[in-house]
Structure 1
Amino acid sequence: MKVATSQPFCLIYSLYQHEYLGYLWEPFIVQLNDRGELTLLHQSISSKNINEFAERLDDTDFELVKLIDAIQQEVVIKKFSSKKTTPTDFFLKVFDKNKGDKNVQDSICNYIESHRAKICPLLVDKRVFIMGNDGNPIREEVTIPTEPASVRFHVMRNADNTHYYPTIRHQGVKVEFQHRDAILLGEDPAWLLLDAKLYHFKPAVDGKKLKPFFHKKFIVIPKSIEEDYYRKFVSSLITLFDVYAKGFEIRSESFRPIPQLNLSENFIESATAGSSASSAVATDTDVTLTLSFNYGDHSFRFDSFTASANVSMETREDEYIFHKIQRDIPREKETIRMLRERNLHLRNGQAVLPKAEAFSWIQDHYEPLLEQGFVISQSPTDSKRYFLGYSSLQLSIHENRDWFDIFAVVRFGEYEIPFLQLKQLILDKKREFTLPNGEVAVIPESWFSQYSELFAFANDHDDEDHLILHKHHISLVQELQEESLAATIINRKLEKLRDFEEIEAYPLPQGLNGTLRPYQKAGYDWLRFLNQYQFGGCLADDMGLGKTLQTLSLLQSQYENGAKEASLIVMPTSLLYNWQLEIKKFTPMLRVLVYTGTYREKNIDLFNQYDIVLTSYGIVRIDVELLQRYPFHYIILDESQAIKNPGSNISKALSLLQSRFRLILSGTPLENSTMDLWSQMNFVNPGLLGSQSFFRNEFQIPIEKRGDEKKTQRLYSIIKPFMLRRHKSQVATELPEKVESIQYCAMSEEQEKAYEEAKSYYRNMILQHIEEEGIAKSQMVVLQGLTRLRQLANHPRMVDSEYEFSSGKLEEVLAKIETVVGEKHKILIFSQFVKHLDLVKSELEERGFPYAYLDGNTQDRQGQVELFQTNEQVPIFLISLKAGGLGLNLTAADYVFILDPWWNPAIEAQAIDRAHRIGQDKTVFTYKFISQNTVEEKILALQHSKQRLASELITTEDTFVKSLSKEDVLSLLE
């Protein structure tokens, strides 16, 4: 019987018993009647046909069906049999009582059990039934309580033997399970089916501890094995569970845990006995920090296998006394969390660290740890004794005429050491030296990260009592000054560069056709300042703050002040059209050449006829030998993260080009690695961050591998004068309430081919239909054709599932998503096509971006809204325009992406107002993505020409199509 997907239906999971495999599930789609009740119309589903019903299912359903498929008998046979066989032959042979293969039996049972352990927890909140003998999948419904049950074990020691049995309670009520036909659906952990209820347990219990009591009251332990039984079995039982004791004593002891951090050169196994966790291997340059907790006279190491209690057994003549020390696991975990916040990451209670890093960490956190009650010690078995006391460094800088004189003194406890003695040790990466008392002092890692660069640039003075540093490394001195380690006088020019607020105001160019907001004017002044002193720079404002406008203002001023050569602006191909529009809008006097395309004229003399040359990264890479012969005024890179890899061909090509000035634009100058910064800053100011190898050793490795915050601050202090980055939140008071932009997207080559073929087909078909039937009777054909073209403009895969190529719009959307998420903003992404959202969703999942999702079939709308509104880790909300255009308050978002233009702009405005409404304290940026040279552009034009109709009457696709004249249709299909 086929269930109609157009009518309401429900996915249920029906339990049945297989003769050999035990209890299994089969999923069914069941039709619902008008009252939402289950009917007899049902259909079995699997991974093969589940997509037919996908719109009303969730991810858990897909996972459940996949897991259930994996334990069906045909899959089991295929997995455990290399020969083609029938189910009857296979199971009779394998499970034969006399000749059956016990190893295969065990393997099958373990395989089935491992899947049951995954399936049972996923069934919570699903509808589960017991299948009837007649195959009726909904004979009896099973409830799954959300609250776990608990098990209490009773151990009764008598004169001749010991009785042992469990009892079960759920929500304070005893659950009678003995002689009640109880069924274990999962053994480890146990899931117990009883009276149409499926119980789980907390703490989790092995089903083997319950199963023997399904048909007996208790188990008898003979006196002859009593002591061994109590020492092994009862001890572990008391450790894990609530145990009622009779005939022996359980003493619960409670102490406040005292954390102890022990340093040792002797590596200790990080995995507990019997665990499969792998252990790191310590070398001669490593030490091990081990965390343990002292409870009275007892000490326990923390690891991931820690039980809530530790039990030891004491025997006194004929008595057994169990000492149960209840561990304060929440407090222990809080200690672990606190250490993690202090950048000490323990694995099973241990951290193996380089010596210098370990000692730097201890010295940095020594006092706070003592205040929190820590005991910090060194293993008494270590032969080498380390200095664990307080160390300090005092630095003074005196400005000379042509350089800075640098003096420093180091103290380790009571010993004072000239800093110059440590210079060679630091340059050679040697971290240890012996103090007069024989203790070994370890140079803190922060000194290496902070002063290796200073030493690399500094020279010894002739007097050999201090160092000298040339003044062009002023940023190093500035950082030391800001850390209150030194004071100096900086000349006015460099003082202004250090303090952005002190940069003078420059007049705006007369030919600028636009108004700069205050923060944009400040950015323009900064660009003019860099230009005046021949520095390169990086304008790194958030997306939507007007980097293009600030840049064009700079270029307009340059040409009004007499610049002769053309300026080259390099960008991704998808942005060429946007730049053309922006130049035409803001600086119409500037002459623009778009240097791209297969038939471009490769003649650099042509550049002299233009003020701006627009080209793509790909063209620069291809034409580098030609382009490097022209002396550009400015070379400007938009989305400059394209050169983040210094070894790439495009980075090498751009480094060969000539220009008086250089500027880069990027909302995300650092995407993956600090080397991204080196590559881009080295382009605008060669040598600013040293050589690539120097930068890698002194900045990249310490920052990325060890999380060195001081090194990070040092790096940013160097680049700060040459990078201007404003977040939207910083300049929100200077912005209007909404900033709306249209993002034109060039189609990919394959997409354009598919679009043009479809346009030609529908144009002929629609025109023929109009000629024969008239415009009024052709509306359905027009709507069908326009819808198909709009889908192709988004992504051809919405029309053709076999399409394997890219979509220009999707690539642009994903690039913008990465930028906005990288800037810590939240986005609403609207589309009227659920298929389009599915494509975006797949790409987000592949990139590891968390998201919320809402369309017409979403069951828990409020749950998705709250997930997005309250969870900082979920930056993206995918919403179908029809389902989410009204009734939602989504003020956590400050960006709105409209993936495809809606017929009625008012509907788009309602979608935008999900974020731009009362309670919103941030400026809302809206991006409407339009595929260039498609029906989407034509729809925008029609919206403007039919503004009154669009705003007052058009509410659906049908009414929009009815408003179209023959001329309108011809325009759309041009």
Structure 2
Amino acid sequence: MCTQETSLARPSATATRTRAPKKGPFDNTGLIPVLARAVREVETAASRGPVSPSGRTKYQVIALLVREERARAKTDPELSEEARAETLKRLDGVATILAKTAARDTSLIALLEPNHPTSDAARSLKRRMLEEAGYEVPDEPAPELSGPADPFAERQVMPVSVRARQLANPFLAPDFALGTTPHLTRRLANWELLGPLFRAFERGGSVTSMELPEPPANPRWAPPGKPLMHHQAQLIAAVAEGHRTFLLADEPGLGKTAQSLIAASVADAYPLLAVVPNVVKMNWAREVAQWTPQRTSTVIHGDGEDLDAFADVVIINYEVLDRHAGWLKTLGFKGMVVDEAHFIKNLGSQRSKLVLSLAAAMRERRHDPLMMALTGTPVINSTEDFKAIWQFLGWIDDAKPRPELMAALEEIGLTPADPGFLPAARQSVIDLGIVRRRKIDVAADLPAKRVVDLPVELDDDLGRSIKQSERELAQRLVSRYRALVSARKPTSDEDRKGLVRMVAEAELEESRAATTGENIFTMVRKIGQAKAVLAADYATQLARSVGKVVLFAKHIDVMDQAEATFARRDIKSISIRGDQTTLQRQREVDAFMTDPSVKAAVCSLTAAGVGLNLQVASNVVIAELSWTAAEQQQAIDRTHRIGQDEPVTAWRIIAAHTIDAKIAELVDAKASLAARALDGDDSEVQAETSVQLDALIGLLTDALR
């Protein structure tokens, strides 16, 4: 499409006058009389009420021509100074009428912006007005096809699985309820409303959460053995009653993912699209299996070669949206969840444009899709951070409230100039679906301390290197095992298990003594390095949404990466390491405990795992796993101490499909073993072996299978 500068070019450059003025520049011929007649027509229309769409088009064209004619008059060498002054004076008269008209209908003000988009109707009207003024206007050149209209088209991919689904179901069922919502244009039609709505949230007020219904006594929304907490069931009850848009701003740790997945199940919003940060996309797949086991999920990696387009839940991270936005708009999604929705707050960013275009495409096909924005920090810098999220939810468009919100504002019976409008408008927005609960508000629902695993996919070069090293280690173990089998010829499963253990023990001894080469310890260290930025990014999200957070790691280089990431994200942090003096360490602890600007503590698992009080935080991120359950618990207990008045959540970052996941499983098993022994349980207690040895046994056993 031609740009505005090309399609609405200045008359002096693209139009030639065909008749000379009869009496010089002060007669009633030329462009200015045409503009004067047209502006009077628009002024008269505005005096009778809101200006019609055709009147708005005429208003915009008059403003454009006044601007262009003024520029021409100032630079035209053929005009005398007297003629130039008279021309500018007459143009000022037209501009004055434009301003008076905009004062009557304030929605016209946006049309005065030089970069306001112009329609085909505006270009056609401008051409007619120039021709009426005596200009010879050449035909517009055809748009140049120098590149795709979609700025992301060159990056688009079409996974084979998507093509298969499209061929299997080429026609999407129409939604006959589309277009049934009336567009109300009454008392508030000419008011600028978005600014007052944002200001309404600056002033604060009552709790920013809609009124939720009480759930039934025994709801069957969650699978057996996975009971919903009361605050979760309340939101699902609202979905069951027909509510379909939510800004779910619960603090981290209150189960926003579970609520959105069960909401999709209750609303039958399948297929469901989940747009999430890279660090949590594997966790989303696991949560689908836990909370809606009857549904399938697929996670999009890279170009989507292993994508299952027939899955009920499609999970994609922000970073690869540009490659898949094209086909995602055609799949017929009935619901969309945007996790960590503050990622789209910048309307000019690529991720925001892509998310909003997907949401708009969904609303074009369905009148009531389930739309959920999940974020503990919907507002970071100013209340205008709400804008992109509200647009995603369909509450507003770029310039004004959409019909549902407009109807609610009309019911208030006030205008932005009236006292009481702001708090009432704030409540109208909240009632559309803002839900906010804090840990302290629902403490009775939560355990005092819990560990939540966040599996992450290591799909960069380092991640691929780690997986290759793991395969090579497994092959080395298999070769040793087969050599032993050939020499000893075991006859029973017990004999073969003994050989597996023998190979693992030998490998572990060599690894402990080795100074070079790949082994289990170098692999675990590499995994920590690969997870460092992901863990720090997640800790950043926590710091911005709930306050202070503690990040634990084992290796110095991982701690260094975490601190550097915090610095890049403008998160002020302190560090607690083994090489600090007692005075240095206490100074760092004091800063974390008392300085509001310090949001994160980067701590060594071994140096900071005991003897510290960090209970000002209730969220812990474990970037690297400990080899023992006790060390992990000691780290978590730096925050879970006397003086802590909130439930503590430890977020354990796990590298999916690597030995890291096996280590986490083993650490948990040891923790359960210790609990049984301490609690007096008479369950059979197995002899405890080292996690390193069991991890190698598991790696070899899996390879032999």
Report the TM-score when normalising by structure 1.
0.42
Task: Quote the offset at 1:634 in angstroms.
Answer: 1.3
Task: Quote the offset at 1:972 in angstroms.
Answer: 8.2
What amino acid sits opposite 2:284 in the alignment? W
Task: Quote the offset at 1:637 in angstroms.
Answer: 1.8
Q: Match for 2:523 among 789, 793, 807? A: 789
Residues 205-284 of structure 1 mapped to structure 2, 5 A cutoff: none
> CA offsets, 1:82-131, max 9 Å, x none?
xxxxxxxxxxxxxxxxxxxxxxxxxxxxxxxxxxxxxxxxxxxxxxxxxx
> CA offsets, 1:655-709, max 9 Å, x none?
33344312222222234454432111111124367349xxxxxxxxxxxxxxxxx
Q: Give the secondary-structure state (helix, strand or coil) at the position aligned to 2:598.
A: coil
Residues 411-430 of structure 1 mapped to structure 2, 5 A cutoff: 424=103
The match for 1:537 is 246
Coordinate RMSD, CA, aligned: 4.4
Cα–Cα, structure 1 residues 426 and 833, in superposed 2: closer, same or farther, change >3 Å?
Answer: farther
Cα–Cα, structure 1 residues 919 and 427, in superposed 2: closer, same or farther, change >3 Å?
Answer: same
Q: Match for 2:563 among 841, 853, 862? A: 841
Task: Quote the offset at 1:639 in angstroms.
Answer: 2.2
1: CA distance, partners of 2:330 / 2:236: 29
Task: Quote the offset at 1:941 in angstroms.
Answer: 2.7
Q: Bigger shift: 755-764 or 826-835?
A: 755-764
Task: Quote the offset at 1:472 in angstroms.
Answer: 14
Residues 737-756 of structure 1 mapped to structure 2, 5 A cutoff: 737-756=448-467
8 Å CA contact 2:622–2:651 kept in 1: the answer is yes
Cα–Cα, structure 1 residues 711 and 845, in superposed 2: closer, same or farther, change >3 Å?
Answer: farther
Task: Establish whether residue 632 from structure 1 lines up as the match of residue 333 from structure 2.
Answer: yes
Cα–Cα, structure 1 residues 472 and 545, in superposed 2: closer, same or farther, change >3 Å?
Answer: farther
Q: Give the secondary-structure state (helix, strand or coil) at the position aligned to 1:928.
A: strand
What amino acid sits opposite 2:430 in the alignment? K
Q: Give the secondary-structure state (helix, strand or coil) at the position aligned to 2:334.
A: strand
Q: Give the secondary-structure state (helix, strand or coil) at the position aligned to 2:444.
A: helix
Task: Establish whether residue 917 from structure 1 lines up as the match of residue 647 from structure 2.
Answer: no
Q: Bigger shift: 617-626 or 928-937?
A: 617-626
Task: Quote the offset at 1:883 in angstroms.
Answer: 1.0
2: CA distance, partners of 1:663 / 1:558: 12
The match for 1:670 is 379
The match for 2:700 is 970
Task: Quote the offset at 1:730 in angstroms.
Answer: 2.5
Q: Match for 2:548 among 826, 838, 844? A: 826
Residues 576-595 of structure 1 mapped to structure 2, 5 A cutoff: 576-594=281-299
2: CA distance, partners of 1:626 / 1:754: 31
Task: Quote the offset at 1:728 in angstroms.
Answer: 2.1
Task: Establish whether residue 719 from structure 1 lines up as the match of residue 429 from structure 2.
Answer: yes
> CA offsets, 1:380-418, max 9 Å, x none?
xxxxxxxxxxxxxxxxxxxxxxxxxxxxxxxxxxxxxxx
1: CA distance, partners of 2:552 / 2:438: 24
The match for 1:150 is none
What amino acid sits opposite 1:639 in the alignment? E
8 Å CA contact 2:208–2:434 kept in 1: the answer is no
The match for 1:653 is 357
1: CA distance, partners of 2:574 / 2:198: 45
Cα–Cα, structure 1 residues 656 and 622, in superposed 2: closer, same or farther, change >3 Å?
Answer: farther
Task: Quote the offset at 1:621 in angstroms.
Answer: 3.0
What amino acid sits opposite 2:325 in the alignment? V
Q: Match for 2:508 among 775, 779, 783? A: 779
8 Å CA contact 1:744–1:931 kept in 2: the answer is yes
Cα–Cα, structure 1 residues 906 and 509, in superposed 2: closer, same or farther, change >3 Å?
Answer: same
Residues 20-419 of structure 1 mapped to structure 2, 5 A cutoff: none
8 Å CA contact 1:939–1:972 kept in 2: the answer is no
Task: Quote the offset at 1:793 in angstroms.
Answer: 0.9
Structure holding more strand per residue: 1
Q: Give the secondary-structure state (helix, strand or coil) at the position aligned to 1:501.
A: coil
Q: Match for 2:314 among 602, 613, 624? A: 613
Q: Bigger shift: 886-895 or 664-673?
A: 664-673
2: CA distance, partners of 1:478 / 1:963: 58
1: CA distance, partners of 2:540 / 2:692: 40
The match for 2:234 is 522
The match for 1:960 is 690
Task: Quote the offset at 1:752 in angstroms.
Answer: 1.8
1: CA distance, partners of 2:239 / 2:551: 34
> CA offsets, 1:839-863, max 9 Å, x none?
1112223333222221111112222
> CA offsets, 1:349-397, max 9 Å, x none?
xxxxxxxxxxxxxxxxxxxxxxxxxxxxxxxxxxxxxxxxxxxxxxxxx
1: CA distance, partners of 2:390 / 2:545: 19
8 Å CA contact 1:508–1:557 kept in 2: the answer is no
Cα–Cα, structure 1 residues 468 and 685, in superposed 2: closer, same or farther, change >3 Å?
Answer: closer
What amino acid sits opposite 2:228 in the alignment? L
8 Å CA contact 1:837–1:879 kept in 2: the answer is yes
Question: Unaligned 5+ residue runs, structure 1?
Answer: 1-420, 431-456, 460-466, 484-496, 693-709, 796-806
8 Å CA contact 2:548–2:600 kept in 1: the answer is yes
1: CA distance, partners of 2:399 / 2:510: 65
2: CA distance, partners of 1:499 / 1:766: 57
Cα–Cα, structure 1 residues 899 and 619, in superposed 2: closer, same or farther, change >3 Å?
Answer: closer
The share of aligned pairs that are identical, in percent, is 23
> CA offsets, 1:710-758, max 9 Å, x none?
9997885553223212222322233221132001111132112221343
1: CA distance, partners of 2:647 / 2:285: 26
Cα–Cα, structure 1 residues 576 and 628, in superposed 2: closer, same or farther, change >3 Å?
Answer: same
Residues 485-500 of structure 1 mapped to structure 2, 5 A cutoff: 500=210
> CA offsets, 1:569-590, max 9 Å, x none?
2223443321121121122122
Question: Unaligned 5+ residue runs, structure 2?
Answer: 1-99, 110-183, 402-419, 485-501, 679-687
8 Å CA contact 2:283–2:455 kept in 1: the answer is yes
> CA offsets, 1:288-331, max 9 Å, x none?
xxxxxxxxxxxxxxxxxxxxxxxxxxxxxxxxxxxxxxxxxxxx
Q: Match for 1:851 among 566, 573, 580? A: 573
The match for 2:494 is none
Q: Match for 2:271 among 551, 566, 576? A: 566
What amino acid sits opposite 1:735 in the alignment? L
2: CA distance, partners of 1:915 / 1:894: 6
Q: Who wins on radius of gyration, i.e. which is larger? A: 1
1: CA distance, partners of 2:503 / 2:194: 78
The match for 2:627 is 903
What amino acid sits opposite 1:638 in the alignment? D
1: CA distance, partners of 2:549 / 2:297: 34
1: CA distance, partners of 2:448 / 2:479: 48
Q: Give the secondary-structure state (helix, strand or coil) at the position aligned to 2:396.
A: coil
Cα–Cα, structure 1 residues 934 and 593, in superposed 2: closer, same or farther, change >3 Å?
Answer: closer
Cα–Cα, structure 1 residues 472 and 843, in superposed 2: closer, same or farther, change >3 Å?
Answer: closer
Q: Give the secondary-structure state (helix, strand or coil) at the position aligned to 1:857.
A: coil
Structure holding more helix per residue: 2
8 Å CA contact 1:766–1:782 kept in 2: the answer is no
Report how many residues are paired.
465
> CA offsets, 1:585-641, max 9 Å, x none?
1221223344555354899xx64xx54333344554323332323332212222223
Higher relative contact order at CA 8 Å, sep ≥6: structure 1 or structure 2?
2
Q: Give the secondary-structure state (helix, strand or coil) at the position aligned to 1:631.
A: coil
Cα–Cα, structure 1 residues 948 and 732, in superposed 2: closer, same or farther, change >3 Å?
Answer: closer
8 Å CA contact 2:620–2:649 kept in 1: the answer is yes
Q: Give the secondary-structure state (helix, strand or coil) at the position aligned to 1:541.
A: coil
Residues 931-950 of structure 1 mapped to structure 2, 5 A cutoff: 931-944=655-668
> CA offsets, 1:276-295, max 9 Å, x none?
xxxxxxxxxxxxxxxxxxxx
Q: Give the secondary-structure state (helix, strand or coil) at the position aligned to 1:875.
A: strand
What amino acid sits opposite 1:598 in the alignment? D
Residues 856-895 of structure 1 mapped to structure 2, 5 A cutoff: 856-859=578-581, 860=583, 861-895=585-619
The match for 1:501 is 211
Q: Match for 1:735 among 446, 453, 456? A: 446
